[in-house]
A = this chain, B = another copy of it.
Amino acid sequence: MDAVPYLAALSAIAALALAFFYYKWVEAASPGDERMVFLMTEIQNGAKAFLKKEYTWVAFFVLGMMALLALVITPLASVSYVLGAVLSATAGYVGMTVATMANARTTEAAKDGPGKALPVAFRGGAVMGFSVAGLALLGLMFTYLLFVEWLEVDQAFEIVVAFGLGASTIALFSRVGGGIYTKAADVGADLVGKVEAGIPEDDPRNPATIADNVGDNVGDVAGMGADLFESYAGSIIAPISLVAFASGLTASQAGDDAFLPLLVFPMAIAFVGMIGSIIGSFFVKGGDSTDSKSLSHALHMGTNVAMAITAVATVGIAYWLFGDSDQFQKPWGLAIAVLGGLVAGWALGKTAEFYTSDHFGPVKKIANQTETGPATTILAGISSGMQSVAASVALIVAGVGIAYWGGEQTFVDNSLGGVYGIAVAAIGMLATTGVVVSVDAYGPIADNAGGIAEMADLDPSVREVTDALDSLGNTTAAVAKGFAVGSAALTALALFKSFEFAIAEADPDATLNLNIGEIDVFIGLFLGAALPFLFAALTIDAVGRAAAKMIEEVRRQFREIPGLREGLPGVVPDSARCVEISTEASLREMIMPASLAVVVPLVVGFISVDALGGLLAGSLVTGFALAIFMANSGGAWDNAKKYIEAGAHGGKGSDQHKAAVVGDTVGDPFKDTSGPSMNILIKVMTIVSLVFASAFV
């Protein structure tokens, strides 16, 4: 049992080795002709410049937080905090660098058909996938071993949680900043380009095209990577901290027989999930068909294999850890909890797919509503997104119920069992993060590849291949979002429970009263419900303001650069200026909403911990609902537009298409800025509360 953290660390190292292997493999592929290399380099430089600037800004915040942690908690916590932040940033930087190398290489490979291109895009994404999973797990195991096992530090678990806070900080700023960037560029490029100037997407005449492609990388690759780094780390931290805080464990007791299996169980699942992901990643092979079904099959093969391995191994681990002890009974209980999480995550993804894929009713209905103009298109998208909230909440509630029940089965003393079940259910969802993120990062790479094909004036057949790969990416993104938001709810719930225990531990007299009949809890609940709305408003506005700057610049260039709109040979737009504007604007806009997530729980917590409890619960349930609503409405509009572009309801250029573009534009900040930021908001607030719990009382 003592070997588990080491095994998990080893699997993490293996994942990093795999990431390096894929990096070398991608690097060896040809990036195409001079024009393609130029475009790739432009995108890469833009993306790197953004990340560097972003990290510089965030560094100030990290420093401030470090000081606060050192002062209020313990200096060691600030070390662990910085480690979490630095590793997450590293994973983001590395992954994004390779993703921006893989885009042109995917385009080049697409000349030989999808069978060649799909692995390039996937393996490009896999560098991100395995960097994220590897660095998160390695860092976490190192922190655990260092503080808990080797140094036997008091308050070791508070320090482990601080690692999660570091990851959350990066996730928060990356998601918000990257999300604002990507949509400001996208909206700016679309509104002036497609709507006003009447030129197609990714047209090289459009000055915002490069920025748009940079945005895909900083938002959908780096932002998403940081998000899942944080989710993954959080899902392992939650059950560990739950056990530690519930039992009042300090370092010296960590070896205690009753608790050790509970501490290593999540690590063991992370270990098999990582092994499963590594094996699964080799099952992704391209076929020769551009048929979406077989492409989808090829891509999902990796995830399916990884999940199957994890599922089978989980049952074994549960029996190994809990089968032979009088502290526990019925080991299948916790196995069911983990598998329940896995199934719930999968079902959430499927629900997202149902509501956002043009194979099903909701998107078809939205497309149909374009017949009566943009207003009905918007209404149809909003209502279908809101409906998906009900379906998703039903699923997550079912998952929570099953996991709780499963947990109770295994525990003999049942004060903790149910919540522990919920905590490990989140790991069930995220154990295969390595391959899930690979598949997710594949999407923007394929998207970029299409952009490069367009900008480099390649044969339309190349664009057809990249389009086929890209459309697949939309679905995979929806599925990954399902996992991310589902696990966020479960993890937050478990962390919330840890928070209760932490308060009780910090001051036995100050037990938390979380009765919603009490006025301060209720007030907290109310404020908590309002917070995600405010957060959404701030991020939408941020995109709007940043996009407006972009639009002005694009208009200016079309106005002032003669021959640009007409596409005269030799006339090129000033793309770099657009990249700069997006970078500046999105970084400035990121400060306010991101700070909110950190400052509000601190302020409320120092006033009343009961109110803070209500606040966390209110934000959790409303934030989850808004996250699902915004992600699925946005995804549905996007695909309704693509569905029409594929020829339905009058096709490209029709009034229906124009209505669909309006829907898509509204959906852009929904699905790529506000929505995905929401689950980080929830978790940052919970984890901040947990870390500072002892300081509140």
Q: What is A's interface to B at a CB cutoff of 8 Å?
A: 187, 191, 195, 369, 372-376, 378-380, 382-387, 389-390, 392-394, 396-397, 400-401, 404, 418-419, 493, 496-497, 500, 512-517, 519, 521-523, 525-531, 533-534, 536-538, 540-541, 543-544, 547-548, 551, 613-614, 617-618, 621-622, 624-625, 629, 661-663, 665-666, 669
Please determine whether A389 and B533 come into contact, CB atoms closer than 8 angstroms: yes
Please determine whether A383 and B526 come into contact, CB atoms closer than 8 angstroms: no
Residues of B within 8 A of A665 (CB): 373, 375-376, 379
Q: With the chains together, A557 CA to B541 CA distance in Å?
A: 42
| Minimum distance in angstroms from A395 CB to a CB of chain B | 11
Q: Out of B394, B516, B666, which one reaches A617, CB within 8 Å? A: B516
Residues of B within 8 A of A519 (CB): 400-401, 404, 418-419
| Minimum distance in angstroms from A426 CB to a CB of chain B | 15
| Chain B residue with Cβ nearest A500 | B517
Q: With the chains together, A534 CA to B392 CA distance in Å?
A: 11
Q: With the chains together, A10 CA to B622 CA distance in Å?
A: 45
Residues of B within 8 A of A617 (CB): 516, 522, 525
Please determine whether A526 and B386 come into contact, CB atoms closer than 8 angstroms: no
Please determine whether B544 and A397 come into contact, CB atoms closer than 8 angstroms: no
| Chain B residue with Cβ nearest A663 | B375
Q: With the chains together, A688 CA to B568 CA distance in Å?
A: 71
| Minimum distance in angstroms from A131 CB to a CB of chain B | 34
| Minimum distance in angstroms from A549 CB to a CB of chain B | 12
Residues of B within 8 A of A543 (CB): 379
| Minimum distance in angstroms from A362 CB to a CB of chain B | 11
Please determine whether B374 and A374 come into contact, CB atoms closer than 8 angstroms: yes
12 contacts between A and B (CB under 8 A): A195-B373, A372-B551, A375-B661, A375-B662, A378-B666, A379-B666, A386-B536, A386-B537, A389-B533, A394-B530, A496-B517, A514-B517
Residues of B within 8 A of A544 (CB): 369, 376, 379-380, 383
| Chain B residue with Cβ nearest A421 | B519
Please determine whether A540 and B629 come into contact, CB atoms closer than 8 angstroms: no
Residues of B within 8 A of A622 (CB): 529, 621-622, 625
Q: Out of B373, B393, B397, B516, which one reaches A521, CB within 8 Å? A: B516
Please determine whether B497 and A517 come into contact, CB atoms closer than 8 angstroms: yes
Q: With the chains together, A624 CA to B523 CA distance in Å?
A: 13
Residues of B within 8 A of A497 (CB): 517
Q: With the chains together, A663 CA to B614 CA distance in Å?
A: 35
Residues of B within 8 A of A513 (CB): 515
Query: Which of A380, A516, A528, A663 gathers the greatest number of chain B CB atoms within 10 Å?
Result: A516
| Chain B residue with Cβ nearest A378 | B666
Please determine whether B375 and A191 come into contact, CB atoms closer than 8 angstroms: yes
Residues of B within 8 A of A379 (CB): 540, 543-544, 665-666, 669
Please determine whether B621 and A526 come into contact, CB atoms closer than 8 angstroms: yes
Please determine whether B530 and A390 come into contact, CB atoms closer than 8 angstroms: yes
Given A400-B519, A515-B515, A548-B372, verify A383-B541 contact (CB < 8 Å).
yes
Please determine whether B662 and A378 come into contact, CB atoms closer than 8 angstroms: yes
| Minimum distance in angstroms from A145 CB to a CB of chain B | 31
Q: With the chains together, A390 CA to B530 CA distance in Å?
A: 5
| Chain B residue with Cβ nearest A384 | B537
Please determine whether B386 and A533 come into contact, CB atoms closer than 8 angstroms: yes
Residues of B within 8 A of A548 (CB): 372, 376
Please determine whether B666 and A534 come into contact, CB atoms closer than 8 angstroms: no
Please determine whether A522 and B536 come into contact, CB atoms closer than 8 angstroms: no
Q: With the chains together, A526 CA to B489 CA distance in Å?
A: 10
| Minimum distance in angstroms from A559 CB to a CB of chain B | 16
Query: Which of A383, A389, A493, A614 gathers the greatest number of chain B CB atoms within 10 Å?
Result: A383
Given A396-B526, A526-B621, A621-B525, verify A374-B533 contact (CB < 8 Å).
no
Q: With the chains together, A613 CA to B516 CA distance in Å?
A: 8
Residues of B within 8 A of A547 (CB): 376
Residues of B within 8 A of A387 (CB): 533-534, 537-538, 541
Q: With the chains together, A528 CA to B516 CA distance in Å?
A: 13
Residues of B within 8 A of A394 (CB): 527, 530
Given A400-B519, A525-B621, verify A534-B389 contact (CB < 8 Å).
yes
Please determine whether A383 and B514 come into contact, CB atoms closer than 8 angstroms: no
Residues of B within 8 A of A496 (CB): 517
Please determine whether B530 and A625 come into contact, CB atoms closer than 8 angstroms: yes
Please determine whether A527 and B393 come into contact, CB atoms closer than 8 angstroms: yes
Q: With the chains together, A666 CA to B390 CA distance in Å?
A: 22
Please determine whether B516 and A614 come into contact, CB atoms closer than 8 angstroms: yes
| Minimum distance in angstroms from A428 CB to a CB of chain B | 18
Q: With the chains together, A516 CA to B527 CA distance in Å?
A: 15
Please determine whether A534 and B662 come into contact, CB atoms closer than 8 angstroms: no
Q: Out of B191, B525, B530, B540, which one reaches A389, CB within 8 Å? A: B530
Please determine whether A529 and B625 come into contact, CB atoms closer than 8 angstroms: yes
Residues of B within 8 A of A418 (CB): 519
Residues of B within 8 A of A374 (CB): 374-375, 662
| Chain B residue with Cβ nearest A630 | B382
Residues of B within 8 A of A515 (CB): 513-516
| Minimum distance in angstroms from A12 CB to a CB of chain B | 33
Q: With the chains together, A622 CA to B629 CA distance in Å?
A: 13
Q: With the chains together, A547 CA to B383 CA distance in Å?
A: 15
Q: A375-B661, A380-B544, A621-B622 are in contact. List 12 more A-B contacts (CB 8 A).
A: A187-B375, A187-B376, A375-B665, A383-B540, A387-B534, A387-B537, A390-B533, A401-B523, A418-B519, A516-B521, A516-B525, A525-B621
| Minimum distance in angstroms from A335 CB to a CB of chain B | 20
User: Which 5 A-B residue pairs are closest in the complex by CB-CB distance?
Assistant: A375-B665, A393-B530, A386-B537, A529-B621, A390-B534
| Chain B residue with Cβ nearest A418 | B519
Q: With the chains together, A612 CA to B410 CA distance in Å?
A: 28
Q: Out of B369, B514, B540, B624, which one reaches A516, CB within 8 Å? A: B514
Q: Out of B373, B380, B385, B669, which one reaches A662, CB within 8 Å? A: B373
Residues of B within 8 A of A529 (CB): 393, 529, 621-622, 624-625
Please determine whether A526 and B390 come into contact, CB atoms closer than 8 angstroms: no
| Minimum distance in angstroms from A166 CB to a CB of chain B | 27
| Minimum distance in angstroms from A650 CB to a CB of chain B | 16
| Chain B residue with Cβ nearest A528 | B621
Please determine whether B533 and A629 come into contact, CB atoms closer than 8 angstroms: yes
Given A527-B393, A529-B622, verify A375-B517 contact (CB < 8 Å).
no
| Minimum distance in angstroms from A685 CB to a CB of chain B | 15
| Chain B residue with Cβ nearest A519 | B404
Please determine whether A527 and B397 come into contact, CB atoms closer than 8 angstroms: yes
